[in-house]
Amino acid sequence: MTTADMDIIPVVLSGQALLSLRESGHNFPSAVGEVIDNSIEARANHIQIITEEAMKSRKKTLTQVSFIDDGEGMDDETLQHYLQLGFSKRFMSEKTIGKFGVGAKLAGLSVGMRIDAWSRVEGSEQIRHVFFDLEEGIEAEKRGDKVGIYPPDDEPLPAHLEVYFPEGSGTMVTWSKIDRVSDGHGRSTPDHIRNEMNKELARVFREFLSGGIRITVDHTDLKPHDPTFLRKGTWADQVLTEELARAGGESRAEARHFHGQVFFNEEVKVQGTDHKIRVVIALAPPEILRFKGAGGDAFAKRLRIPDNEGAISFMRLDREISYTPVAKLFPAGIQTKDRYIGFEVYFTPELDRMMGVRNVKRGAVPADELRRTLRTIAESVIPKARDEIDRVWGEVNRDDAVKSGEHAPITKALKDADRTMPKARVKQVPTPAQQEREYENLAKDAGRNTTEEEKAAYVQEIKELPFVIETVDVPGDDLFQLTHLKDQTIIRLNQRHVFYQEMYEPLQLLSNEGGTGTGPNVSATARRAIEAITLLLVAYAKAESMHETPVDQYKELRKWWGSFTEQYLTKIKDVL
């Protein structure tokens, strides 16, 4: 050894480097996914996750997470290297889920300061153990001691976890000294973390779950979550089956599959290359589409529909590595209805560079050639899926007349309020025949004319009201249309108008959520806003009725008001 050799210093200070590497970009669900990857590669059929919690500073927190699988197990040499960054028997392989040898190690240290692993291979009675404690490593480094991983020992399994370890081969990994658990948005309560973890794991590993691999979290088997609604036995199938049973007054119902509609499922060549990918685009079934505006209600959230808006699922060797929108991919931008469209891209590891795959298997940034390929497909297929959504919603509207009667509570309240208010002065009084024709037209617009009996009942219902309000489909720029029948004014609110679509309807949906918003008074505020907007229209209608010839006097005013409202809402947004 030369003098120069003696002056060499370590390339990496292990403890300090590992502290930095804790910022690896993982949230808790993605970190857990790295351990599951190893179990799948070890040919495990059942992977169990056991979480433990305790009270700290008057708050519940996760204290330990354990992973137990029935895979092939690790011999002593492999077990010792299991916790070594960069070690992998599959290093840079293009045939396996993992390839860098860092995933599970960084994942564990991103959550807690200590990782323990126990493993047994087939034919052995011994369960061997290794560990790495980052706190101890940092202290050893400060003392000038070597930081590393000791050879396997015979430390027994934790007594309370022995029952979960398989009788044959298998592995158990525990994360402890947990100090960094969140869902990516800063929320860290154990119940919330578990819920988010279950949702993400059910989607990320949906292909394996559908194929028969079991992943159990705290004694409950995960159901695969499929954004395309093509796989059977999914979370959506379970929720829909339960909901239909409940609606039918049944305590239980036979499991059903609610199949999505396939719009594209083909292997395609990436533009300018010889590489191929498989693209699947599918639409949620009618039982999930339901009706326009339902995509954000409590039932939709339970089905995880809002999460899917514009998201592209990139599937590497059948394991999802990214689930997020890709800029400028959807034609005319991402629309609210796109949450019902499942979009999957399947590829093999040889395309990792083109996909922008990172070593933590979180996120994908497609190269230009791939973006162009996907955009070409999206421009052709997405509009067709959107048209089908509109078609289904249109049928539901016509069949169920969903908009009819939505203003009934406020029109009844107006009847009482109007007794003590000035009376209309309209002189353009329609004849009885004209008035009957107006009622028939309104019944048709409101979808209340399926039978003569239904139409007659509707007309009888509205005849004595001073104001009748219906949401209808009206071509043109009018925000609303008014029809004055002497002592009664009919208000047709135009659901095509941008004011209705961007303000009135979202507020109405929020008011129906029953307090599931971000604040305790969200629903009450929304209900009052709906009341206020409706009464604003009524007040205007009342003001018109005070003129002897309101149609002649105010027809142009209404038209310009509607036109300017639409223009301002289109031109001015997010300025406050």
* 498 against 119, higher pLDDT: 119
Last residue within a domain, chosen from 196, 220, 244: 220
Q: For residue range 261-317, list pLDDT tens digits in order.
A: 999 999 999 998 899 999 999 999 999 998 887 888 889 999 999 999 999 999 999
For residues 202 and 254, membership in a common domain is answered with no
* 252 against 241, higher pLDDT: 241
pLDDT computed for residue 500 by the predictor: 80
* 80 against 515, higher pLDDT: 80
Q: For residue range 332-389, list pLDDT tens digits in order.
A: 999 999 999 999 999 988 888 888 765 544 556 788 899 999 999 999 999 999 999 9
pLDDT computed for residue 106 by the predictor: 85
- Position 220 confidence tier, pLDDT thresholds 50, 70, 90: very high
Note whether residue 3 is domain-resident. Answer: no
Q: Among 460, 459, 479, 463, which residue's Cα sits nearest to residue 471?
A: 479
For residues 186 and 243, membership in a common domain is answered with no
Note whether residue 373 is domain-resident. Answer: yes
Note whether residue 227 is domain-resident. Answer: no
Q: In the chain, pLDDT over 90 holds for what percent of residues?
A: 44
pLDDT computed for residue 573 by the predictor: 63
For residues 41 and 164, membership in a common domain is answered with yes
For residues 291 and 351, membership in a common domain is answered with yes
Of the listed ranges 117-126, 148-157, 178-187, the one predicted with least confidence: 178-187
Of the listed ranges 223-227, 232-236, 362-366, the one predicted with least confidence: 362-366
Q: Structure tokens of 464? A: 């004595």
- Position 576 confidence tier, pLDDT thresholds 50, 70, 90: very low
pLDDT computed for residue 99 by the predictor: 43
- Position 236 confidence tier, pLDDT thresholds 50, 70, 90: very high
- Position 39 confidence tier, pLDDT thresholds 50, 70, 90: very high
* 538: amino acid identity, one letter: V
Q: Among 378, 385, 396, 488, which residue's Cα sits nearest to residue 442?
A: 488
For residues 250 and 384, membership in a common domain is answered with yes
Asked if the model's pLDDT at residue 135 lies above 80, the reply is yes
Note whether residue 8 is domain-resident. Answer: no
- Position 25 confidence tier, pLDDT thresholds 50, 70, 90: low
User: Which CB contacts under 8 angstroms, 24+ apart, belong to 54-59?
Assistant: 59/189
For residues 502 and 563, membership in a common domain is answered with yes
Last residue within a domain, chosen from 220, 246, 266: 220
For residues 395 and 413, membership in a common domain is answered with no
Asked if the model's pLDDT at residue 454 lies above 50, the reply is yes
Asked if the model's pLDDT at residue 575 lies above 60, the reply is no
- Position 36 confidence tier, pLDDT thresholds 50, 70, 90: very high
For residues 128 and 191, membership in a common domain is answered with yes
Domain count, the chain: 3
Q: What is the CATH number of the domain that holds 194?
A: 3.30.565.10
Q: For residue range 63-102, list pLDDT tens digits in order.
A: 999 999 999 999 999 999 888 876 565 444 444 444 444 5
Q: What is the mean pLDDT of the chain?
A: 84
Note whether residue 305 is domain-resident. Answer: yes
Note whether residue 230 is domain-resident. Answer: no
CB 291 within 8 A of CB 304: no
pLDDT computed for residue 137 by the predictor: 85
Question: Which residues touch 389 (CB under 8 Å, ≥6 apart)?
Answer: 283, 289, 337, 340
Q: For residue range 259-274, list pLDDT tens digits in order.
A: 999 999 999 999 988 9
For residues 286 and 201, membership in a common domain is answered with no
Note whether residue 576 is domain-resident. Answer: no
- Given 3-state DSSP classes, what are the helix, strand and coil percentages for the chain, each rounded to the nearest 5? 45, 20, 40
Note whether residue 6 is domain-resident. Answer: no
- Position 232 confidence tier, pLDDT thresholds 50, 70, 90: very high
pLDDT computed for residue 75 by the predictor: 94
Last residue within a domain, chosen from 220, 244, 266: 220
pLDDT computed for residue 574 by the predictor: 60
For residues 79 and 133, membership in a common domain is answered with yes
For residues 146 and 294, membership in a common domain is answered with no
| Residue 270 domain boundaries | 235-400
* 184 against 447, higher pLDDT: 447
**Alpha helix segments (H runs only) across 401-449:** 408-417, 432-445
Q: What pairs with residue 153 in β-bridges? A: 129
pTM given for the model: 0.70
d(CA 172, CA 187): 27
For residues 186 and 290, membership in a common domain is answered with no
